[in-house]
Structure 1
Amino acid sequence: MSFVSRSGTVGRPKEFILAGDASASLRNTGFEELKDVKSTRFERKNQHRKSRRADGGDIAPYRSVSREEVLCNPVLLGNVKFDHIRSFQNLEAYPHVFESDLDVLQWACAMTGESPTARMLLKEAQEDGWAIALDDLSQDGYAIDAETQSVLIDHFGMTAPAIGKSAHFRHAMLVNFIKALRQLWHDRRNTNMYASHRPDAIIQLERARAADCETIAILAGWELRAAGHSDFWRYLIGSSIGDMAIAFTQKNETDPTGFYDGSVLTRTFCEWYADETRVGATDTATLEYMDELMADANGKPAFGKNSVSSAAVERLSALPKDRAYLEGMGNNICVDPHFVRMRDTINEAHLSQIIYDTQVVRVEGVPFRDPRLARLIFPENKVKVTE
């Protein structure tokens, strides 16, 4: 038997000769299916699509005014037994059963208690009688209401069950809560900063406070990582302060003793000033608040005349055991252009206007730099001079 193959080069057919008559052998050949080696990986195991609906029905991801929700009033931090929650709740699984804002707040307090540094800040806030609540702050993170002694944490417009399902927004809330606790710590120890310092000094002090709050959040995240919550540390690396988290890690790896002498935190603190957007946003918020103070002063002096000192900056970095990680760095922070210069021209013009307004005397809406000249032009018995 022979056949011709056309698979080769055209015009050069190849002929193959088979020994014997193959047709009979092929007809007598039986084929048996071996089921034990049959592949099943291309077969659909389940004919129905996997249901992505959560247990217990649909979860509404966003809050709506028309929909009834399980909300809660501000909760006193002193009434939150976070040690009890840590003992009887699995903090990894607890978020998946959030039903109300109270569950979210209890989880945040319990997670804060896992960090020794954040735990001390939380206990101090409990002793002072502060309360906590969730609110829609339009991505502002947190807000502090001194009149009602309430800390408001942004819920990003999401319901409690949706927050429990989203690790990103859940960890963002935890970071904001830790920064709010550190801000309360600052407010308790520096109550008259605006009344005692010049506007330019206030800018530097507010920068240092903001950098310290971010640094303490990084420190708490590292402590939570050591406690087994590595997912929170991964969130920090991917967040807006990820450069600070990376600087913390690099310094800690190259100098392990720096974690104990404070140099790791100092390096993290300095990294905050490397982001111009971060510094500019802090300056803008500070300048707007100074405008509000000047409007409420009704012509009276709204600010003091003290300049920023190295001791004041170093006090802002005190840790729970009264150890300041910026010790010895205060003078550099006060004079080094990396920490002092105003990068945003709009903020610089805004600050210049505020300084100008604090140095003039206004009489009938007319500004004077010399109060005696103002009284000569506008006699004091006819018009009221506002200094």
Structure 2
Amino acid sequence: MPNSEIYDRKNIVMKADTLVSHAEPKIGEYAGSKYFSHILDVWSMEDLYEDSAYGFEQTDSLILGDKFEILSWACGQIALCPTGSSMLFEAMDDGWSLALEDLNGPDFHIDVPEKMIVLDNGGLLLSALGRSEYFRNILLVSLVRALRDVWQEARHGGFDEDYAPQDILVLERARAADLDVLAVMVAWELRGEGFGSLWRHMIGSEDGDIAMCYSATLERNPASAFNGYALAMAFKQWYKSDSRVKSCEHEALNDIDALLQERGSKDAFGTANLNASKIEELSALPDQNQYLCGFGENILLDEDYAGMSDMVNQAHYRQIMHDMSAVRVHGIPFRDASLAEKIFPNGEFTPEGQDPCSLI
């Protein structure tokens, strides 16, 4: 097991002429997920990382033959840079595993109780995914984002037990922005290590504006690489895309709605007050520096960060707040608790033969 405190390029030496047998996958059935309900091949990240030291020459003609090789290559690539290796080694130390499946939606799914990351294969055949530099880079970005989400989960968990829906939305936006910003940072670090493919991919992707903002800030102010300012500007750029913000809000509102239906309206969410320090804590890097230090208050108050412009999401949010104010008895919502008590005395059905209207 590598030391998670040490970034050592010597651990990633490629030995193309050495034959290594693949580790056996852990077979598991994960029928509880909304994304898949079939048998998965799952490997520990430790096995994948250890195997990444063998057989993968960094050439344009690289061909990866199966799931294990694809995932092993991805782990090896991420370990080549400081930020990526820190997140990867921490996940390895915590016993996380990795799988590759068709999720038909999100680019990754994390199962916290099982400590499992499932990456989306985009519905591609393994032969196509293993041969294409473009699709491998998409997978690499997804793995970076997933590792950052695991890193955040270990420190902050979910927000629903502590905060109300309006604050959950603010935090989920910030967390989603942070995932994309860290993906840009890892791509930039890999570029500095001589592996520029991922950075070129980031520039041409839908998050290219974030990457260009980051690099432009570094060019104008080289010190911003060390004080977090370049990352803060990239974070700010994330909010300038309506599609990114709307998509994040849509997913967060769906999750909030599902939790509300599961728990009922009473005390469904927390009541803690969201403050600037909580926002800034989400930006902590593996070296413990917070790139949003000093920006938290602005993120809480500025409508560019905290507002909601999409009409559909606004309607969904208002419906959630309405449902939270309702009293549910046997799945039936009531605005008036006293009326609910009259129709369902002590939470029970009205006795047979008695007219409920006579109780009003």
Shorter-chain TM range is: 0.7 to 0.9
Q: Which moved more, 1:91-100 or 1:115-124?
A: 91-100
What is the identity, as a one-letter code, of the residue corresponding to 2:78?
T
The residue that corresponds to 2:42 in the other structure is 74
The residue that corresponds to 2:233 in the other structure is 267
The residue that corresponds to 1:287 in the other structure is 253
Q: What is the root-mean-square deviation of aligned Cα atoms in Å?
A: 2.1
Does the aligned pair in 2 maintain the 1:95–1:164 contact within 8 Å?
no
Question: By how many angstroms is 1:378 displaced?
Answer: 5.2
> Any idea what the Cα deviations from partners look like across 1:208-264, whole Å, max 9, x if unmatched?
000000000000000000011112111000001100000001100000001100000
* Structure 1 position 230 matched with structure 2 position 166: no
> Any idea what the Cα deviations from partners look like across 1:274-301, whole Å, max 9, x if unmatched?
0000000001111111122122224553
Q: How many residues align?
A: 311
The residue that corresponds to 1:146 in the other structure is 112
Q: Give runs of aligned pairs for residues 301-316 of structure 1, distance below 5 A.
A: 301-316=267-282
The structure having more radius of gyration, on CA atoms, is 1
Q: Scaled by the length of structure 1, what TM-score is found?
A: 0.76
Distance 2:154 2:61 in 1: 32
- Match for 1:103 among 69, 73, 78? 69
* Structure 1 position 239 matched with structure 2 position 244: no
What is the identity, as a one-letter code, of the residue corresponding to 1:80?
L
The residue that corresponds to 1:190 in the other structure is 156
The residue that corresponds to 1:38 in the other structure is none
SS in 1 for 2:100: strand
**Shift in alpha-carbon separation, 1:379–1:139, aligned structure 2, 3 A:** closer
**Shift in alpha-carbon separation, 1:75–1:198, aligned structure 2, 3 A:** same
**Shift in alpha-carbon separation, 1:227–1:354, aligned structure 2, 3 A:** same
* Structure 1 position 85 matched with structure 2 position 52: yes
Distance 1:152 1:382 in 2: 44
Question: By how many angstroms is 1:101 displaced?
Answer: 0.7
Question: By how many angstroms is 1:366 displaced?
Answer: 4.1
Q: Which moved more, 1:238-247 or 1:286-295?
A: 286-295
The residue that corresponds to 2:262 in the other structure is 296
Q: Which moved more, 1:233-242 or 1:130-139?
A: 130-139
Distance 1:352 1:307 in 2: 20
SS in 2 for 1:93: coil
Which structure 1 residue ranges, 5 or more long, are not aligned? Answer: 1-70
Q: Give runs of aligned pairs for residues 1-387 of structure 1, distance below 5 A.
A: 73-82=41-50, 85-86=52-53, 88-93=54-59, 96-298=62-264, 300-363=266-329, 365-368=332-335, 371-372=337-338, 374-375=340-341, 379-380=345-346, 382=348
Q: Scaled by the length of structure 2, what TM-score is found?
A: 0.81
Distance 1:360 1:135 in 2: 40
Question: By how many angstroms is 1:162 displaced?
Answer: 1.7
Q: Which moved more, 1:166-175 or 1:306-315?
A: 306-315
Question: By how many angstroms is 1:94 displaced?
Answer: 8.7
SS in 2 for 1:98: coil
Distance 1:382 1:125 in 2: 49
Q: Which moved more, 1:206-215 or 1:294-303?
A: 294-303
Distance 1:170 1:139 in 2: 18
Distance 1:241 1:366 in 2: 42
SS in 2 for 1:196: coil
> Any idea what the Cα deviations from partners look like across 1:32-67, whole Å, max 9, x if unmatched?
xxxxxxxxxxxxxxxxxxxxxxxxxxxxxxxxxxxx
**Shift in alpha-carbon separation, 1:103–1:378, aligned structure 2, 3 A:** closer
**Shift in alpha-carbon separation, 1:196–1:95, aligned structure 2, 3 A:** farther
Does the aligned pair in 1 maintain the 2:343–2:349 contact within 8 Å?
no
